[in-house]
């Protein structure tokens, strides 16, 4: 793979982590909307508590570590490993809508990257194209691992908090306060993902899985998951 100057790579990561990047994350709540409609989350404190649980017990041990594993496989030019990682991540995501949301975001990310970066060669043989796998594969093109994980963490936090702000609803300042409150936890998650083994990959919080599954049956919905 070709390399880029570090500043250009950093700017590209900022582009991918920007809330305006059209990955489709604004259509996904990954079960958050279920709790909001039940009345369990109706203020910024509730949203921060939910996000902390989601990040540490579900996202950290699935998507975040998947980015690192995909980055390593891509750096080693091991396409077969990338395919296995994509299949395993698909099996980890129990709620159907959350699983499909991750796939839709990954396919959209892959398509956009192919249009904005001539150096990017899409991983065409991926069975599902989960967002974390595509993100890690692309990051191997130039990015070092720690800033790549930081960009992915920022994008995940900002997009889900923004969706919570829309659905509750809250003010924009409330949303920014929640994001700031979550940054120390995001650092904890990143540091863990930097050193975790593949055997530690996988986990969930049953209540969050239930919310993702129950979302399909909500009478009215803003989000697709």
Segments forming the whole domain that contains residue 77 = 6-13+27-217
Q: What is the mean pLDDT of the segment spanning 120-132?
A: 88
Within a domain: 143 = yes
Q: Residue 35 and residue 41: Cα distance in Å, rounded?
A: 6
Instruction: Say what the pLDDT of residue 5 is.
Output: 53
DSSP state letter for 83: H
Within a domain: 225 = no
Within a domain: 77 = yes
Overall number of domains in the chain: 1
pTM: 0.94
| CATH number where 100 lies | 1.10.4190.10
Within a domain: 113 = yes
Concatenated DSSP letters of 113-180:
HHHH-TT----TT-SS--HHHHHHHHHTTT--HHHHHHHHHHHHHHHHHHHHHHHTT--HHHHHHHHH
Q: What is the mean pLDDT of the segment spanning 61-90?
A: 96
For the stretch 67-80, pLDDT in tens is: 999 999 999 999 99
């Amino acid at each position: 793979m070709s390399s880029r100057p570090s500043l250009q790579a950093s700017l590209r990561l900022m582009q991918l982590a920007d809330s305006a990047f059209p990955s489709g994350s604004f259509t996904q709540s990954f079960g958050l909307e279920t709790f909001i409609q039940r009345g369990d989350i109706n203020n910024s404190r509730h949203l921060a508590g939910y996000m902390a649980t989601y990040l540490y017990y579900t996202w950290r041990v699935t998507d975040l570590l998947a980015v690192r594993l995909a980055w390593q496989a891509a750096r080693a030019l091991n396409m077969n490993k990338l395919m296995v990682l994509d299949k395993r991540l698909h099996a980890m995501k129990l709620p159907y809508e959350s699983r499909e949301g991750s796939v839709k975001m990954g396919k959209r990310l892959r398509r956009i990257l192919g249009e904005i970066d001539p150096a990017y060669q899409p991983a065409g043989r991926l069975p599902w194209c989960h967002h974390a796998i595509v993100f890690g594969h692309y990051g191997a093109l130039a990015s070092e691992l720690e800033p790549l994980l930081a960009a992915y963490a920022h994008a995940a936090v900002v997009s889900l908090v923004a969706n919570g702000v829309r659905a509750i609803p809250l003010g924009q300042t409330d949303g920014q306060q929640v994001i700031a409150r979550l940054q120390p936890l995001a650092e904890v998650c990143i540091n863990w993902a930097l050193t975790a083994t593949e055997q530690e990959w996988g986990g969930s919080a049953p209540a969050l899985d239930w919310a993702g599954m129950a979302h399909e049956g909500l009478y009215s919905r803003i989000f697709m998951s």
